[in-house]
Chains A and B, each alone.
Chain A
Amino acid sequence: MSAPVIAAQGLTKRYGKATVVDGITFDVAKGEIFGLLGPNGAGKTTTILMMLGLTEVSGGEIRVLDHDPVRDPLAVKRRVGYLPDQVGFYDNLTAADNLAYTARLMGIPARERAKRLSDALARVRLADVAEKRVATFSRGMRQRLGLAEIVMKGAEIAILDEPTSGLDPQATIEFLEMIEGLKREGVTVLLSSHLLDQVQRVCDRVALFQGGRIVLMGTVAELARQVLGAGLVVEVEADAATDLVARFAAIPGVNSVARSGTDRYRLTADRDVRPEAARAVVAANGALRRLSVDDPSLGAIYARFFQRQASSEEGARDAA
């Protein structure tokens, strides 16, 4: 792995006595999509603002593209694009005029401006409404215009705060595709969200925030192993004269087999055991009707994690 583009060490933010971000440490590698997950108020946006030098750091250290955003925010902001939560534009200006203003603020040379602006608008499929006032735009179009701004900037890191909240499903899918497009161009993407299935769909790694701390971090599969225990659940639907449970249990890697109904089996395994399971059914002369593997869903991980935490807190209370 190359040197991280974002590196936080014990990053802390306090407002008076309240600690909003409490000593978090994480690295983001170049070219990955990193998800910041967690309930509202868990410190995701504050962390983002500290990365951009838009709010002061109370403790710890953060480096973005090898710059210190506290001391040299301009160098960071020149190379990082930010799409805020519920991004706003000047409603009385057209989409193109809005971007032209930020293009000048970015310091894009005058001769490149028009081309980069129209390219960016075409990228997010807003070219045909470029001369319409932003007041007439839907939420999805505004988000896409915000993304166009990042594209126009030629940002190396794109920080997107809740980019898909409030979008309809179609707009969400389109937006996620555009995010993946950024990744293909080598842009590092930092995505904050509380919409778990979307994060799971696009993110390489996620960090789960709670109460200002990162409580879990890693790929979705890693989190699943940590939280849900053994990895995969394989479901088999098959008819057979002989008992399949024993045969399934004999497959190496299978930890347990549960039978539900007459012909359904749930296998919990360390790895994907579908080929072996199929072979076992065929060997028993059975009729295999369905064979599926449950991907560990971030939703399940999330729910289980907070459930476990709640029960352990309850346990602690009972003991006390």
Chain B
Amino acid sequence: MRREGSPWQGLGPVFVKELSDHISSVRMLVLEILIIVIACAVVYVAIDGIRQTTAEDPFILLKLFTTGGSSPLSLLVILGFLIPLMAIALGFDAVNGEHNGRTMSRILSQPIYRDALLAGKFLAGLATLAIALLCLWLLVVGLGIIFLGVPPGGEEVARSLVFLLITLAYAGTWLALAILLSIVFRSAATAVLVALGLWLFLSLIWPLMVPGFASLISPPDPRYVLFGLPTPATVEWEHMLRSISPNELFNGAAISLLAPDTRAIGTVYMSQLQGAIMGSPLPLSESLAIAWPQAVALIAGVIVLFVAGYVVFQRQEVRA
């Protein structure tokens, strides 16, 4: 049976309302301050390091994102860790908040479909994240120009903008997950705890567990062990298991864009090194080709998680 009327009716008002809620909320303000302060500190340390070590580098601006100077923390690592936190903060009470505030049935009794409500909430969250990330990007580039005194080249800007889009896809994955949890769990506290649990697991614990799992699935070949080399099959498994975590996907894609000499993510084969001049940068198109699988996986993650939330939400009863 087909329903009549447009599923997008009401999308605009929901989007505008949610966006203004997010931007004016204290929760968001605190997170933005946190991220900006940390990012400034990291970039400052990085600039210090770059000034002392790098004589000439055609991609000096991109170094701001990937090196931490004297500290092991680069902006990339910080973003990989904090962006999920921000996305979770925006999404964890998206749907259950409406139920608990008893606004859900009143809003859904207006001439809109549930599609518009969910899509509007998701897009508003994504727009909020995009605004925050764009600000951060401008801040970093501005700091770079001021303190390094080097104007950014065209390719540098292009690479860092693509990096921005990938960061947004990464943030979108966590936002979609947070919204899914807000649909599944009626209590916002449960949703946020599960989301934070997954965040800690995927970004801290899973990378530590991966080598163990990989050697369980594909035990190391004794011939390689004899020479103290890793077994290719095991390494391949390790790479695949690692990719379950959005954090790893994000890091892989980001590195290949921000460090133009990256030739592969995960295992590097001899064929990829043939004819390569070590340390020489790849053209942007080649770097994009390397980042493509990771980027697609992140975008697919956004879509799958959003659709899962959509299906559950459509079948959910309006009554509390």
**Partner-B contacts on A (CB < 8 A):** 45, 49, 52, 54-55, 70-75, 77-78, 80-84, 86-92, 101-102, 104-107, 146, 149
User: What 20 new A-B contacts, CB under 8 Å, besides A49-B105, A82-B106?
Assistant: A54-B108, A55-B318, A55-B319, A71-B2, A73-B113, A74-B4, A74-B9, A77-B109, A77-B112, A80-B109, A83-B106, A86-B102, A87-B106, A88-B106, A89-B101, A89-B106, A90-B103, A105-B111, A105-B112, A106-B111
Q: Which residues of B contact A149 (CB under 8 A)?
A: 106
CB within 8 Å for A146 and B4 given contacts A55-B317, A77-B111, A106-B111: no
Q: Which of B206-264 contact A (CB under 8 A)?
A: none
Residue of chain A at shortest CB distance from B100 = A88
Measured in the bound complex, the distance between the Cα atoms of B318 and A96 in whole Å is 25
Among listed B10-18, B192-200, B280-288, interface-contacting one: B10-18
- List residues of B whose CB falls within 8 A of some A CB: 1-5, 9-10, 12-14, 16-17, 21, 101-103, 105-113, 317-319
Q: Give chain A residues whose Cβ lies under 8 Å from the Cβ of B101.
A: 88-91
With A71-B1, A71-B2, A105-B10: A49-B111 Cβ-Cβ less than 8 Å: no
Minimal Cβ-Cβ distance residue in A for B103 = A88
Q: Are A84 and B109 in contact (CB under 8 A)?
A: yes
| C-alpha spacing A56/B151, complex, angstroms | 61
Q: Which B residues lie within 8 Å of A73 (CB)?
A: 3, 5, 113
Contact of B111 among A55, A74, A92 (CB under 8 A): A74
Known: A49-B319, A73-B5, A74-B112. A101 touches B13 (CB 8 A): yes
How far apart sit A105 and B111, CA to CA, in the bound complex (Å)? 7
B17 near A101 (CB under 8 angstroms)?
Answer: yes
Beyond A72-B3, A75-B5, whether A106 also contacts B109 by CB under 8 A is no
CA distance A45 to B317 in the complex (A): 12
B107 CB contacts on chain A under 8 angstroms: 102, 105
**Nearest 8 CB-CB pairs, A to B?**
A88-B102, A74-B5, A104-B13, A82-B109, A105-B110, A84-B105, A78-B111, A72-B4
Give the distance to chain A from B65, nearest Cβ to Cβ, in Å.
Answer: 36
Q: Quick check: B4 and A75 within 8 Å, CB to CB? A: yes
Complex Cα spacing A77 to B9, Å: 12
- Which of A49, A71, A83, A88 gathers the greatest number of chain B CB atoms within 10 Å? A88
| A102 CA to B117 CA, complexed, in Å | 12
- The CA of A77 and the CA of B109, in the complex, are separated in Å by 6
A318 to B107, CA, bound (A): 51
Determine the distance from Cα of A101 to Cα of B107 in the docked complex, in whole angstroms: 9
Residues of A near B112 (CB, < 8 A) are 74, 77, 105
In the complex, which residue of chain B has the Cβ closest to the Cβ of A90? B103
Please give, as numbers and ranges, the residues of chain B lying within 8 Å of A88 by CB-CB distance: 101-103, 106
- Chain B, residue nearest A77 (CB): B111
CB neighbours of B13 from chain A (8 A): 101, 104-105
Residue contact A106 to B110, C-beta cutoff 8 Å: yes
Residue of A nearest to B12 (CB): A104
A269 to B98, CA, bound (A): 55
Cβ distance B34 to chain A, nearest Cβ, rounded Å: 22
Expressed in whole angstroms, the Cα–Cα distance for A81 and B110 within the complex equals 8
User: Can you list 27 residue pairs at the A/B interface with Cβ under 8 Å?
Assistant: A49-B319, A54-B108, A55-B318, A70-B1, A71-B2, A72-B5, A73-B5, A74-B4, A74-B9, A75-B5, A77-B111, A80-B109, A81-B109, A82-B106, A88-B103, A89-B106, A91-B101, A92-B21, A101-B13, A101-B17, A104-B10, A105-B13, A105-B110, A105-B111, A107-B9, A107-B10, A107-B111
A39 to B145, CA, bound (A): 72
Contact present for A77 and B110 (CB under 8 Å): yes
- Which residue of chain B has the shortest Cβ distance to A101 in the bound complex? B17
Complex-state Cα separation, A147 to B14, whole angstroms? 22
> Closest chain B residue to A105 by CB distance?
B110
By CB atoms of chain B within 10 A, which of A74, A75, A87, A92 has the most? A74
A84-B102, A101-B17, A105-B13 are contacts. A52–B3 as well, Cβ < 8 Å? no
Given the known inter-chain contacts A55-B318, A87-B102, A90-B101, please indicate yes or no for A102 contacting B5, CB distance below 8 A: no
Alpha-carbon gap, A107 to B13, bound state (A): 9
* Complex CA distance for A107 and B102, rounded to whole angstroms: 22
In Å, the complex CA distance between A55 and B318 comes to 7
- Which residues of the other chain, A, contact B106 by a CB distance below 8 angstroms? 82-84, 87-89, 102, 146, 149
Please, which residue of chain B has its CB at the minimum distance from the CB of A103?
A: B13
Q: In whole angstroms, how far apart are the Cα atoms of A49 and B9 in the complex?
A: 20
In the complex, what residues of B have CB within 8 A of residue A107's CB?
9-10, 111
**B17/A54 in contact, CB under 8 A:** no
**Residues on B with beta carbons closer than 8 Å to the beta carbon of A104:** 10, 12-13, 16
B3 x A71 contact (CB < 8 A)? yes
Min distance, Cβ B20 to any Cβ of chain A, angstroms: 10
Docked CA distance A73–B106 (Å): 14
A55–B2 Cα gap in the complex (Å)?
Answer: 16
Residues on A with beta carbons closer than 8 Å to the beta carbon of B12: 104
Which residue on B lies nearest to A80, using beta carbons? B109
Distance between Cα atoms of A102 and B112 in the complex (Å): 10
Min C-beta distance of B166 to chain A, whole Å = 34
Closest Cβ of chain B to A68, distance in Å, is 9
A104 CA / B17 CA spacing, docked (Å): 10
Q: How far, in whole Å, are A165 and B232 apart by their CA atoms in the complex?
A: 70
